[in-house]
Structure 1
Amino acid sequence: MNPYSVENFGDRRGVMGCVRPINEAHVTESGLAVVDIAAADDETVFAVQELLAGRWAIAPADRTTREPGEPGVRLRCFLDLRQASGV
């Protein structure tokens, strides 16, 4: 069974079609990553971001976004896997 089938997503072409495009500068080198986190509430997405920040260098987000008609909240942060966290 295809989890991305039309039955699961209707006529939508992608799971996250409403998310901002990734800026090319954020992924210009190996080891740089853009992480989009989606969860039911702000506390959960910030907890996930904090877990990532405990392991790697991160440019954290300070607020979440809500998309009209979509459940939950989203947060985008930027990681540098080449550098361990200073925490």
Structure 2
Amino acid sequence: MDPIREAHLSEPGLLVIDVAGFDDATVLAFQAAIARIWGTSSVERTTRDAGQPGVRLRMYTDLRQVLEEASSPVPAPSAT
């Protein structure tokens, strides 16, 4: 993977996440789960390192962009 550059982390709340997994479906499912919570860059492809098992992807995440869907994944219990 390419080196992380200072511009990728120029402000608080920005993350660079490198993910390694068994196959494309696994790492893309992880990326989709993160994308439901925070703003992320779209990932169109994974990479393979020659001679190494599995696949990798890099995603850029902005923790300042909390999405509405993630604000309350479980309904609050009702008072009885």
TM-score, structure 2 normalization:
0.80
Runs (4+) of structure 1 exceeding 3 A deviation are: none
Please give the alpha-carbon distance, in whole angstroms, between the structure 2 residues aligned to 1:86 and 1:27.
Answer: 24
For structure 1, the residue ranges without an aligned partner over 5 or more in a row are: 1-18
For structure 2, the residue ranges without an aligned partner over 5 or more in a row are: 70-80
Of the two, which has the highest radius of gyration? 2
1:54 counterpart SS class: helix
Q: Deviations over 1:19-76 (max 9, x none)?
A: 3101221101110000111001000000000000010011121100000011100010
- For 2:60, the equivalent position in structure 1 comes to 78
For the pair 1:31 / 2:13, whether they are aligned, the reply is yes
RMSD of the alignment, in Å?
1.2
- Pairing partner for 1:43 from 19, 22, 25: 25
TM-score, structure 1 normalization:
0.74
For these two proteins, the number of residue pairs brought into alignment is 69
Higher relative contact order (CA 8 A, sep 6+): 2
Instruction: Determine if contact 1:57/1:86 at 8 Å carries over to the other structure.
Output: no
